[in-house]
Amino acid sequence: MNRKWLTYCIVLTVMFLGQSCYREETVFDTDPNDELSLPVLLKLDGRMCFFDAPQNMLRYSLTEDLSDFSPLAEHNLNSILTFNGTILTNKKINHFGEIEIGKTYPLTIENNGAQQQFELVFTNLPIVQIIDDSKIYDEPKTLAKVEITGAQPASSFSSFAGIERRGKFSKYYDKRSMGFALWKNMNSTSEYSAPLLGFSLNSDWILNSAVVDPSRIRNLISFEIWNYLGSWEEEKEPARIKIRSKPVEVFLNNKLQGLYIFSERVNRELLNAGNEAVLYKAIDWSDGATRFERFNPVPSNNRFWNGWEQEIPDPDLVLNWKPLENLYELTVNATDEAFRNNIASIIDIENFIDYYLLLNLTSAGDNTGKNIFFYKKNNSAPFQIIPWDLDGAWGIRYDGIRTGSESVLSNRLFERLIETNPGNFKQKLKNRWFYLRKNSFSEEQLFRLFAHYFSEIEKPGIIIHENRIWEESLDLDNERMYIEEWIGNRLSFLDDYFNEF
């Protein structure tokens, strides 16, 4: 039988002068309807159980193990559902008993005497379902519907959206990253904002496949460390742009796609950017231009220049490369004296020190002149760096190949800062490193952070499905041991390096 269509037939009448058969179908896996909706087999406390047709499995998001889970159960009126041997009463509170995250529970759906067996699994991760009736392209965005259920009560969200594929290197893998913008309705591409999964208001969101990373959490951990680096001054909130992310399970229609990292997108909303703000993203190496080794001084007449893309202001309305051009002129062409005297008015020295230290802590080799944002909030503000796409870090390259732990990452801008030493830059760099080594960069803290997220993604068994779906061989225990050993070696190397300053 074709598994795309699981149907049941029952003879309702046998006529005296012949036979006829009335077919009443319960369709478990079907294409989306005209409103981009799919049949819902079971809801618990108003939130969906998401259906994976290839495995006849439903997955439901809970915060933790429960000793007595008693949800309001809702299902098709024509069906009888039996959970773990107990028939569920429709639209009533049902006592499921003790529930363990990641454990498989039997679920039977009976319709007109015909039964189908399913598995119901509870996950501690939020679930994101993309409902789409056409192919998803790199661009333009195509119409989709997004259903999101978090592990917290009253956390369901549903919206139309425009969705597209993301990623340059990762596009060579079957498992692709995606980004989506919330659309007001299915007939309009007008965007709106919502605070998804407890994050700040935004219209654009990212689902990172993390496919090159055998731990799936390197980028998330790097963001986490960046977000919570201590301030340079006591009791002062650092003016750092934070990017929040969390692991989620993703479905494409009625098919589980595995583990993704759901993340905020760096855009005007996240930055709360005003009319004078500029934001540039380094998107390619451009023969060393984004490493500040050289640059083409000829002004650009489009959104791309010297390996950068202008994201704010909207390049279709206004081009403003002058702030970045000024930084290039000073870094590439100015004398040491001019650089030393003026660089602190153009860049946020403390922010750049923190980025340099994160870059070297993680050994993110693809991020010295690529996968970074430069941001100025107004004409008089200095540039800040915002990190991005740190999958190729913590002992692996951008393609997932393992690397050593003894190298110093830099570019010409950082080299000039160290060589010319404006405002005693080298001593600040050294002091900051050893200050962070006592807290955010301590071996104990880093091990604890990795252990927390490894446990979070391992508990619901999603890695088993990740390996099955994408023919991977992820081994989180092995990866954790490798990362911990690499971190120990990396910290020892960098302690020696900064001791020499």
**CATH number given to 272-499:** 1.10.1070
Query: Going edge to edge, which strands form the sheet with 72-74?
Result: 47-48, 43-44, 72-74, 92-93
Strand residues in 365-452 grouped as ranges (E): 372-376, 384-387
Structure-block tokens of residue 295: 């640059």
pLDDT for residue 188: 83
pLDDT for residue 187: 87
Q: How far, in Å, CA of 19 to CA of 58, rounded?
A: 38
CB under 8 Å to 252, separation ≥6 — which residues?
A: 129, 130, 132
Q: What is the pLDDT along the chain (501 residues), one digit of tens a residue?
A: 333 333 333 222 222 223 333 334 456 888 999 999 999 999 999 999 999 999 999 999 999 999 999 999 999 999 999 999 999 999 999 999 999 999 999 999 998 888 999 999 999 999 999 999 988 988 889 999 999 998 776 678 999 999 999 977 766 789 999 999 999 999 888 999 999 999 999 999 999 999 999 999 999 999 999 999 977 876 566 678 999 999 999 999 999 999 999 999 999 999 999 999 999 999 999 999 999 999 999 989 999 999 999 999 999 999 999 999 999 999 999 999 999 999 999 999 999 999 999 999 999 999 999 999 999 999 999 999 999 999 999 999 999 999 999 999 999 999 999 999 999 999 999 999 999 999 999 999 999 999 999 999 999 999 999 999 999 999 999 999 999 999 999 999 999 999 999
Half-sphere exposure of 35 (CA within 13 A, CB side): 5
Half-sphere exposure of 157 (CA within 13 A, CB side): 21
Rounded to two decimals, what is the model's pTM?
A: 0.92
Note if the bond before 297 is cis, omega within 30 degrees.
Answer: no
Q: How far, in Å, CA of 282 to CA of 289, rounded?
A: 10
CA dihedral for 128, 131, 137, 141, sign (positive or negative): negative
Distances, alpha carbon 428 to alpha carbons 81, 270, 416, 421, 480, in Å: 65, 29, 15, 10, 32
DSSP state of 240: -
CA dihedral for 260, 35, 255, 62, sign (positive or negative): positive
Q: Where are the domains of the chain?
A: 272-499
CB 306 within 8 A of CB 296: yes
Distances, alpha carbon 441 to alpha carbons 121, 228, 232, 358, 448, in Å: 37, 11, 15, 9, 11
CB under 8 Å to 118, separation ≥6 — which residues?
A: 41, 56, 57, 58, 106, 107, 108, 109
pLDDT for residue 14: 28
Classify each residue of 60-83 as buried b or exposed e, where b means 16 or more C-beta atoms within 10 Å of its C-beta. bbbeeebeebebebbbeeebbbeb
Q: Report which of 439, 364, 361 is spatially closest to residue 403, judged by C-alpha positions.
A: 364
Structure-block tokens of residue 442: 């301590």
Phi then psi for residue 259, to 5 deg, are -95, 130
Q: How far, in Å, CA of 111 to CA of 424, rounded?
A: 76
CA dihedral for 310, 193, 252, 57, sign (positive or negative): positive
Radius of gyration of the chain (CA): 26
Q: Report which of 189, 495, 448, 238 is spatially closest to residue 354, judged by C-alpha positions.
A: 238
pLDDT for residue 8: 33
pLDDT for residue 230: 76
CB-based burial of residue 34 (10 Å sphere; 0-12 exposed, 13-18 middle, 19+ buried)?
exposed
Q: What share of the chain is helix, strand, coil (3-state, %, to 5)?
A: 30, 25, 45
- CA 311, 315, 320: angle at the middle one, nearest 5? 85
Note if the bond before 313 is cis, omega within 30 degrees.
Answer: yes
Q: How far, in Å, CA of 72 to CA of 88, rounded?
A: 10
